[in-house]
Amino acid sequence: MYDIKKWKHIFKLDPAKSITDAHLEMICMSDTDAIIIGGTDDVTEDNVVHLMSRVRRYSLPLALEISNVESVVAGFDCYFVPSVLNSSNVKYHNGILLEALKSYGQMIDFEEVVFEGYVVLNPDCKVAQLTQAQTELDQEDIEAYAQMINDMYKLPVMYIEYSGTYGEIEMIKSASAMLTHTQLFYGGGINSLDEAQNMAAYADTIIVGDIIYTDIDKALNTVKIKESHK
């Protein structure tokens, strides 16, 4: 198992989107710490296996962020399991997990599983809509979620998800101030090195997704945050 605490930068690839071999090579040969395969819509066993086998040509760590039980496949280095804590639907807290454990609990190697306490803050993103997330949160709320995750649930990762839009730095700062053990992931709308650096000042790990599919050079540029951490 890799030490995810050391990961500063992660590219997230969506199995439902297409990427050329050339662009995939640039992503995998960049100085990023890991690749996560994950998405919200149209994530299937087929497209996960297909993308996994393409990324496996390269030697970097590869994780699956589980979106539905049907698309879980063996062969990843680790599995991120999200629980959307500000969802108003219990299914997205622990309902899917309960069904998954009933079916596959015996087969799971829990050493490979990383539980993520998700807080989704962009009301317009697909994951907010799917999970019916209560996104109208202020700094006090995010601090309380951070405390819940760090001090009560004691989860390894808190993921502040602004998918598709660049988040409010004060929210990341407030969460970060409460975390003593939990690693803070930030994802959403990072399109430049500047934006990556601003978030990386408070988040332990930044996740870059969409821009891979719209401007590969800008995506690659975000990896330079690692130079300031060396």
Q: Which of 191, 224, 194, 190 is nearest to 206 (CA)?
A: 190
**Strands, E assignment, the chain:** 9-13, 34-37, 62-65, 78-84, 113-120, 157-161, 183-187, 205-208
| CB-based contact 207:10 (threshold 8 Å) | yes
Instruction: Decide: is 167 part of the binding site for ligand 1GP (CB under 6 A).
Output: no
Residue from 120, 207, 223, 225 binding ligand 1GP (CB under 6 A): 207
Residue from 30, 150, 163, 222 binding ligand 1GP (CB under 6 A): 163
Instruction: Decide: is 208 part of the binding site for ligand 1GP (CB under 6 A).
Output: yes
Count of chain residues binding ligand 1GP (CB under 6 A): 13
Sign of the Cα pseudo-torsion (123, 209, 213, 56, in order): negative
Residue from 37, 81, 128, 190 binding ligand 1GP (CB under 6 A): 190
Q: List beta partners, residue 208.
A: 11
CA 139 to chain centre: 21
Instruction: Decide: is 209 part of the binding site for ligand 1GP (CB under 6 A).
Output: yes
Instruction: Decide: is 15 part of the binding site for ligand 1GP (CB under 6 A).
Output: no
Identify which range of 19-27, 47-55, 128-136, 205-213 contacts ligand 1GP by CB under 6 A: 205-213
Residue 91 annotated in ligand binding: no
**Helix or strand or coil: residue 87?**
strand
Question: Considering beta carbons, is residue 108 or 226 the nearer one to ligand 1GP?
Answer: 226
- How far is CA 160 from each of CA 123, 138, 213, rounded to the nearest angstrom? 13, 13, 21
Q: How far is the CB of 102 from ligand 1GP (least distance, A)?
A: 27
Q: Which residue has the tokens 């990427």?
A: 19
Question: Considering beta carbons, is residue 126 or 173 the nearer one to ligand 1GP?
Answer: 126
CA 30 to chain centre: 18
The residue type of 127 is: V
Instruction: Decide: is 117 part of the binding site for ligand 1GP (CB under 6 A).
Output: no
Q: How far is the CB of 187 from ligand 1GP (least distance, A)?
A: 2
Binding site for ligand 1GP (CB under 6 A): 12, 161, 163-164, 187-190, 207-211
Which residues does the annotation place in the binding site?
Answer: 12, 14, 40, 159-164, 189, 209-210
